[in-house]
Each structure stands twice: as C-alpha cells, then as structure tokens.
A and B are shown apart, each in its own frame.
Chain A
C-alpha cells in the first residue's frame, strides 16, 4: 500500500506530465505539486463554448430541434460524460428544488429562448428531478412571456412564475454597496439555481450575462446601476443566497446583441449559435465579454473600453474582496467545441 506522500507524488506526476518523463525529471516535487494544484483549480474554472453553425436556418429562424443536441454536447464536454442523464446527475441533486433563472427583459427579440429552457427541463426530469421541483422564473409574467414561456403555479408540473407572484423578502440583506430585498423564489423555493441568461451588450454595464442576470432576483435593481454596475454586480453575487445557490450557468448565446443593448436592437443582432456553460460565473462572463468584443471588432464598432463602458465588474468579482471566480484567461480551462 502506498503512503499518502507516495500517492500524492505519483498522482501529481501522472496528472502533470503524462507522456513526458523527461520533463518530470527536471521538476522537483514541490513544483509538481504546485502545478497539480493549478490543474485542479483549472478544472474548477472550466468553461465550455458549444457551437452549432446550423442552429439558425437561412431565414434566421432558430431550429429548435437542434437545441437539445447542442445542450447535450455542451454538458457532455463539461462533465466528461457522454450520456446526458449521467452527465446531468453530476450537476444537479435529484431530490432538490432547481431554479432556472431566465432573462426576458430585452423583450421578444432578445430573451432566453424557450427552446433552451424546455431542453434543460427535459434533461432535469430525466435526471430524476420531479417536474414540480423545477421552477423557471424571472422578474414578472411579462418577462417570462417575452421568453415564450407561460405562467404556471401548478406544483404537479414544471412551475413557471415571476417575482410578481412569489414576492420579495421583507428584510434586506447586504454586501458592500448592495442592500437588497431578495426574491422569495430564490430564498425559499430553490435549493440550487442554474442561470440561463442571454448574451447582450448593456449600456449601463458593458455586457450582461451570468452575474448581471441576478439583478432579476432583487426588488429594486436600478439601485445597483451606479458606476456602470461596479461593484453592484459583484456585491450582489456575494450575498450568500446568491453566491451559494447559483451554482451553474447555461448561457444562451444562440442569439445576441453586440451593441445598443440591453434592449432588442435588430440592427445589432447576431447569431453566435452558441451555449456558454460553466460553474465559475466570472470565467463565464469573461468568456462572454470576449465574444462580444470579437464581434464588435468584426463589425467595426469600438471596444467597450473605447465606448466608455468596460465591464469592470468582472474584474471586481474576481478580486480579493469578492473571490467569485477568475477572470484570468491563464487559469481558465476554455473548451470550444
């Protein structure tokens, strides 16, 4: 039987330099362990960008039948499990209430696609989550309708309703400059939340995606808009109920707005045909931001920094006061499939 020290030594070396014993010989144990730790950290910062170039037809219509397949590929890549049900069981506990926080503020043209919500609901149920233990939610009924969803409070089926039905806590909670009343759907209904934001440029934040989507869980989001939402976004995500319950993001980048957002601006609409998936909300947002910057450059639109609205809240979320994730590309494990 191997001692603990030997085990660490062999596994660290094995993980670090598979197929390169020459490199191992040049490294001391401390260096190997350090790199092994970095490798484990990288796994935590994994972000998958899954694409399907044929997701939208020639007329610009979303081919909804391809969405489930795209989701399966994204989750398989993320979990390393090919079978969708097995993959989902690594992400969600079957006996808990799972919230799906969508984003419908942009109206019909640029809201989380219902096809994605339905695909996630389907896989959750196949993974053993009861229909009534799935809560799809947004700020209000109108925002849900913008996503193409219908309000339902019947607990025998997947529930779908807004904070206008669920209400807000009477007592505010605070972190930094965020002093907010949280939605009861978050605090009382859900054990775990999966964010399903839609990728948009944002006139007041630079971009809106994973972390900014949480503005929909507070009663007065406009109070967090000062200074380009910095540190509002980071502070809000540090409030324990948000930090602890929001554990995964399946970001909708099937359609996106690269300028003029967060409202629907058809003149700036583009179709990345992608999902951006990960646990690390900061890494997910950083990846989404870079995607928008690439599109802006391609379209000849100034960078967000040049436009005076760099999404600085992403760096703030990664700083020592917030520690919500990493915005360092060197530490991320970005998988593009």
Chain B
C-alpha cells in the first residue's frame, strides 16, 4: 500500500515537472520595444501597431508580398525619437522560423552594408540597422543622417535585441 502510494506521488510529481517543463519550452512573447528612457536619449513616441500577415499590406504596401513569401506571422512597429530630434521607426517582423528571417536579411543587403554584431546576424548602414535573431527580423530606420545617427541607431538596436 505504502509502496503503491509512493508510486502515485512520484508519478504526480513527475507529471507536474513535465507540465512545467512543457510550459517553459514555449518562450513567452516579449515586448521587443524599449520604453522611453530605457536606452539613453531615446523616447518611444507612438503606440505599437501590430499587423497580422494578411493585413501587412496596410503598413508596407507591395513590400508585404516578399515577407509573406518568407513566412511572416506578424509585424510590430513603433516610432522613436532621439534627443527630441532624430526620428526613427522600429519594425519587428516575427517570421515562422529563422530561415524566413535570414531570407529577408540576405535579400536586402547592398555592397555598402557593414556587419553589425547584433543577434544571429546583422548589417548596418548610415541611417539604418537590420538584424535577425531566431525567427525575428528587425529593421530600424532613422529619417535623418546626422553625426549621431549611426551610434544612436545601433544603441537602440541593442536595446531591442536584449528584449527578444
């Protein structure tokens, strides 16, 4: 009897552990957008907008097709401002898998691209940074080219990367 109860307790404990492990395997969907002040000089100036794949055309028009072909699930976007002047937009595309993110990143590179130490792979330009991390593809674009732009955009990119 004692032995049987012991087995039951052990089985219940195992079930609890496995259930917990199962839950733990699913990474919680985090908010990738740093709050105002979280990255020095950057303010978040808009609400985050989220577009499902079927509605992505509303945001990026004909560009949506290449993301859909690469397996985009959704796209989130938010606007930022650096030191009250430099405006930028952060787009986070959640793809089905890392291959989809890689496909978009590699398709858009130019000879001017410099490698950026971000996520699994990334590139930077004078006014923008694009990188991927797992199934996420992140594009940060600034609307002005100033002496501060490259380092400011890179700092914001690191802030987003840390939240993914």
Which A positions have Cβ atoms within 8 angstroms of B? 60, 105, 107-109, 202-205, 208, 215, 221-222, 225, 229, 259-268, 300
What residues of chain B lie closer than 8 Å to A221, measured between beta carbons? 57, 61
B window 59-80: CB within 8 A of A? 60-66
A267 adjacent to B64 (CB under 8 Å): no
B126 touches A300 (CB 8 A): no
Q: Which residue, of B62, B143, B144, has the highest number of chain A Cβ atoms within 10 A?
A: B62
Q: Which residues of B contact A260 (CB under 8 A)?
A: 108
Q: Nearest residue in B to A212 (C-beta to C-beta)?
A: B62
B111 near A300: Cβ-Cβ < 8 Å: yes
Decide yes or no whether B141 CB sits under 8 A from chain A: yes
Give me 5 other A-B pairs in contact (C-beta within 8 A), A109-B141, A225-B62 excluded.
A108-B87, A202-B62, A262-B61, A266-B142, A267-B113
Does any Cβ of A come within 8 Å of B145's Cβ? yes
Q: Is B30 an interface residue when CB atoms closer than 8 A count as contact? A: no
Distance of A270 from chain B, by nearest CB (Å) = 13
Enumerate chain B interface residues (CB-CB to A < 8 A): 57, 60-66, 87, 89, 108, 110-113, 125-128, 141-145
Task: Classify the interface of chain A: helix, strand, loop or mixed.
Answer: loop
Q: Which of B57, B111, B142, B144 contacts A222 (CB 8 A)?
A: B57
Residues in chain B near residue A300, CB distance under 8 A: 111
A-B contact pairs, 17 of them (CB 8 A): A107-B89, A108-B89, A203-B63, A203-B66, A204-B65, A225-B65, A259-B110, A261-B63, A262-B61, A262-B62, A262-B63, A266-B126, A266-B127, A266-B128, A266-B141, A267-B113, A267-B128
Give the residue among B87, B126, B142, B143 with the most A Cβ atoms within 10 A.
B143
